[in-house]
Chains A and B, each alone.
Chain A
Amino acid sequence: MKRNSKQPLEIVIPIKMKDFKAGGDGAARIKQVLQKIGFPPDIIRRVAIAAYEAEMNIVINSLGGEIKATVSTDVITIIARDYGPGIPDIELAMQEGYSTAPREIQEMGFGAGMGLPNIRRCADRMTVESKQGQGTTITIEIYNR
């Protein structure tokens, strides 16, 4: 192998607010990369779910942001960073069914309050940092073992 084979791969995808048409493209691209590297299907599925939820979170609830995937052979890290209102009560937001999404978005089938709980189910480690009025950063780690 080449000298830099230990270096993790980084994929950064900018996400626009309320861009429902492109929402999910970032997660799909991350999935494709992982599939071409050859991660096991169950790992890919967990990353696909977590990345998709994190991406849709940014689309629905923020003023935009980015998803960054860092890939090494034994851990896949997704960092979803947004500019936005922030989450006032993280513990509450982690509860299933809790949503602040407006009704018209819920009617589109999004914002059912399952985003963060779904991410937690797929992640081996997850942290949520949020500052009101500034934005939120969600860090998700999924181990390949």
Chain B
Amino acid sequence: MEYFHSVRLDWSRCKGCTNCIKRCPTEAIRVREGKAYIIQERCIDCGECIRVCPNHAKTAVGDSLEELSAYQYNIALPAPSFVSQFAPRASLEQTLGSLISLGFDAIFEVALAAEIVSKAARRYLDNYRGKRPLISPACPAVVGLIQVRFPSLLDQLLPLATPMDVAARLAKREGVAASGLPPEAVGTFFISPCPAKITAARQRRNGLAGPDGVIPMRDIYGDVLQNLKSAAPYPSRAGAGGYGWGHSGGEKKCIGGPHLLEVDGINQVIDVLTMIEAGYLQDIDYLEMQACPGGCVGGALMVTNPYVARMRLRELTSRIGPRPEELPEAGDSLKPYSYLPRPALRLDPDLATALEKMHQVEATDKMLPGLDCGACGAPSCRAFAEDVVRGEAQDIDCIIVLRERVRVVAEEVVELARKLPVSMARPERGNDKDEAE
């Protein structure tokens, strides 16, 4: 299967260091020939590598404002976290208005869709009697992580569309009504805090609609900033609850009720998913999970520090009501995707062959130093052992194994250097029985 990924390597900037390979939660990066390649099947677009790369060589590719020209009527779908980047320089309405100055005709706040999703989620939870806890599908990096590393938990994903998709579907409907144009002439563009959302929008499945394009927040930050002061205010329709989805704990609060837990940061998410897979936390009804520290305000494509952004978002939304005055009719916009496992980690499609390969991995792993130094280009000795068995590396790519090999050869060379042709050899000490005779 082909996977589109928004996370890419900027060749000219990559120095071939090993910072990113160690941070990747799915061990999807290898350094080869001095560059950090991404293994496409494994990447979940969480953006950890973007965050950690000291050379800014990992980037995210999305759509640009030029794509707007493909449509006659364009609607911006700013993520709830979007406004956090510009406060306190401008009001909520003015920040939204600055998107209009970039060429959009209308704005549909994803925060408004988040309110619709929250309401539907609350209703779903009230009637749910199945395996607990249910897990939020809102963060696509978390969904990707579950597909790759925790596939047995896929049936615990809340079966509702994400606020981004709901916003895209409702915005299209409103755009068609407002412009009188056919749906294909109306463009919907999500303004994204992270690469995972870009990828999620591109990987349309089951023919269900999402946004027509995704513009990385970072790419338009400067343009928005420039227009901030002069922009005409654009009315906001969402409430503080929907905007709360922009930071960790906000989704939980907006859905409301007891036994809801929020987890943020990819390693904490892995920890908690491990516990759930082992049968724990069944007293929790719902898990809000976000791969980025602090939630979407900590997205890898954001500019402002996540903690500052969270504070700004709270300040900004404290001036609006907790709930919007009226919610658009959801219709069938909440229809979810069904997510399939991504068995990207297995050693072989055939179980018996894979088992045999695992034997070899265990044996190879024992020969390795356990330093996890990364000099071989793999994130750990264990991952390197798997690469060797998969035929993607050879054991002497390990500098410690190589050094040991060199030592053995060097000793042999020294040994050989001592030898003389038999014609020139002199008897050593001469106390051998044969010689004594």
Q: Show the binding face of A for B, using Cβ within 8 Å.
A: 1-2, 4-5, 7, 9, 11, 24, 27-28, 31, 33, 35-39, 41-42, 44-45, 48-49, 52-53, 71-73, 109, 118, 144
Which B residue sits closest to A52, measured CB to CB? B278
Which B residue sits closest to A55, measured CB to CB? B278
Report yes or no: A37 in contact with B346, Cβ–Cβ below 8 A. Answer: yes
Which B residue sits closest to A27, measured CB to CB? B278
Report yes or no: B354 in contact with A5, Cβ–Cβ below 8 A. Answer: no
CA gap between A54 and B135 in the complex, in Å: 26
- CB neighbours (8 Å) of B354 from chain A are 36-38
- CB neighbours (8 Å) of A48 from chain B are 152, 277-278
Q: Identify which of B152, B343, B354 gathers the most chain A CB atoms within 10 Å of its CB.
A: B152
Which B residue sits closest to A6, measured CB to CB? B352
A9, A38, A44, A72: the one within 8 Å of B349 (CB):
A38
Report yes or no: B277 in contact with A45, Cβ–Cβ below 8 A. Answer: yes
- CB neighbours (8 Å) of A41 from chain B are 151-152, 154, 341
Interface size on B, residues (CB 8 A): 28
Given contacts A4-B356, A5-B355, contact A38 B347 (CB under 8 A): yes
Given contacts A9-B355, A72-B355, contact A42 B152 (CB under 8 A): yes
Asked if B362 CB lies within 8 Å of chain A CBs, one says yes
Report yes or no: B356 in contact with A36, Cβ–Cβ below 8 A. Answer: no
Given contacts A7-B359, A42-B152, contact A31 B277 (CB under 8 A): yes
How far is the CB of A49 from the nearest CB of chain B, in Å?
Answer: 4
- CB neighbours (8 Å) of A11 from chain B are 362
Asked if B149 CB lies within 8 Å of chain A CBs, one says yes
Report yes or no: B355 in contact with A73, Cβ–Cβ below 8 A. Answer: yes
CA gap between A24 and B302 in the complex, in Å: 35
How far is the CB of B143 from the nearest CB of chain A, in Å?
Answer: 15
CA gap between A7 and B154 in the complex, in Å: 32
Q: Identify which of B345, B348, B359, B386 gathers the most chain A CB atoms within 10 Å of its CB.
A: B359
- CB neighbours (8 Å) of B154 from chain A are 41
How far is the CB of A30 from the nearest CB of chain B, in Å?
Answer: 11
Q: Identify which of A2, A38, A49 gathers the most chain B CB atoms within 10 Å of its CB.
A: A38
CA gap between A50 and B396 in the complex, in Å: 39
B149, B348, B349: the one within 8 Å of A35 (CB):
B149
Report yes or no: B352 in contact with A5, Cβ–Cβ below 8 A. Answer: yes
How far is the CB of B381 from the nearest CB of chain A, in Å?
Answer: 14
How far is the CB of A115 from the nearest CB of chain B, in Å?
Answer: 10
- CB neighbours (8 Å) of B361 from chain A are 36
Asked if B279 CB lies within 8 Å of chain A CBs, one says yes
Report yes or no: A45 in contact with B274, Cβ–Cβ below 8 A. Answer: no
CA gap between A53 and B275 in the complex, in Å: 11
Known: A37-B351, A45-B277. 20 other contacts (CB 8 A): A4-B356, A4-B359, A5-B355, A9-B355, A9-B362, A24-B278, A27-B278, A35-B149, A36-B361, A36-B386, A38-B346, A38-B348, A41-B341, A44-B152, A48-B152, A49-B279, A53-B278, A73-B352, A118-B279, A144-B351
Asked if B303 CB lies within 8 Å of chain A CBs, one says no
Q: Which of B59-91 contact A (CB under 8 A)?
A: none
Report yes or no: B356 in contact with A52, Cβ–Cβ below 8 A. Answer: no
How far is the CB of B269 from the nearest CB of chain A, in Å?
Answer: 15
- CB neighbours (8 Å) of B343 from chain A are 38
CA gap between A36 and B347 in the complex, in Å: 6
CA gap between A143 and B296 in the complex, in Å: 42
Which B residue sits closest to A10, measured CB to CB? B362
